[in-house]
Structure 1
Amino acid sequence: MFQHTHYNGSKEEQYSLLNKQLDALLTGETDFISHLANASALLNQFLENVNWVGFYLLKEDKLILGPFQGLPACVQIPVGRGVCGSAVKENKTMLVADVHQFPGHIACDAASRSEIVIPLKRAGEIIGVLDIDSPIVDRFCQTDRLSLEKFVQTLEKHLEIAES
């Protein structure tokens, strides 16, 4: 499932190791954008069968492109539109098996077929989203969802003390 052989064990154990790596990578650092850049790079290196990993940051009523790994992407997404905008509006993780079946899907990359979007919070308020796309239909399972939500919680802990 994962592309690097140094991640051993069950999927849950591999994600647990990834989370520990994120925590170690961000400890002692205080730059907000650096945190997001390293988190997207770490996920991109860890996850198999993904074609985009990154962040959109909430500014007024729009999500604005932040640090990412992948092809150039949409710069602005209105809250409530597409998978990312819906995650913000509904304040919940969106796991979409086939984006072509999602009403109002915004196709930044035509190769993307499935997507998971997790709200990112600071001081309890949504400040953006983690967005991960895959060219494979139904790429993300509930284990991915739960584990990536824990990854985001670890990131949020570091963002609380980060300088914007």
Structure 2
Amino acid sequence: MPFQKLKPQIETILQNDQRSVDDRLTEVCELLETTIPYYDWVGFYFKNGDKEELKLKSFAGEPTDHTIIPFGKGICGQVAVSNKNFVVSDVKAQNNYIACSIHVKAEIVIPLFVNGENIGQIDIDSHTEDPFSHEDEIFLEWVNAKVSEIL
């Protein structure tokens, strides 16, 4: 698993304040999507102002129609309400799942906190069945903690 090798690269990207936050987040998404074989789509969603919805900010992978997700809908919307990690080993087994692609078999969503408030999340789709481990969760929590430092 390349997680330890990725950490310094992610820190370098995020610390580059010559680039916009959006550009840095997109670069992190691209790094994860191209480096980790089972990360087929990587995106950051954030709370959309005062609305009870999430808005896609940065991503890498196939474009998605799901740029706005109401709280409570799909895996991302559920994490916006629960404030807890959500690892889905088989998306077909979820009755509250929003399909972004017919190829997606699994998804992991980790909330992103700033000053204790859930302001967004990192969302990863995989075309591989049941690919995510506890190490993915720990790594993505670390990524979100680093991202929160630049927001």
Would the TM-score normalized by the shorter structure come out above 0.5?
yes
| TM-score normalised by the chain length of structure 1 | 0.83
Structure 2 Cα separation of the partners of residues 69 and 27 of structure 1: 20
Structure 1 Cα separation of the partners of residues 144 and 4 of structure 2: 12
1:66 aligns with 2:57: yes
Structure 1 Cα separation of the partners of residues 80 and 150 of structure 2: 21
Runs of 4+ in 1 over 4 A off after TM superposition: none
| Stretches of structure 2 lacking an aligned partner (at least 5 in a row) | none
Structure 1 Cα separation of the partners of residues 8 and 96 of structure 2: 36
Higher relative contact order (CA 8 A, sep 6+): 1
| Counterpart in the other structure of 1:6 | none
Count residues in correspondence: 147
| TM-score normalised by the chain length of structure 2 | 0.90
Structure 2 Cα separation of the partners of residues 134 and 62 of structure 1: 23
1:27 aligns with 2:15: yes
| Stretches of structure 1 lacking an aligned partner (at least 5 in a row) | 1-10, 160-164
Aligned-pair distance for 1:44?
A: 1.0
C-alpha RMSD of matched pairs (Å): 1.4
Task: Answer whether contact 1:99 1:115 (CA < 8 A) is retained.
Answer: yes
| Counterpart in the other structure of 2:92 | 100
| Counterpart in the other structure of 1:162 | none
Task: Answer whether contact 1:121 1:128 (CA < 8 A) is retained.
Answer: yes
CA-to-partner distance for each residue in 1:117-143, whole Å, 9 max, x for gaps? 011223332221111000111011111
1:46 aligns with 2:35: yes
Letter in 2 for 1:131: D
Aligned-pair distance for 1:71?
A: 1.3
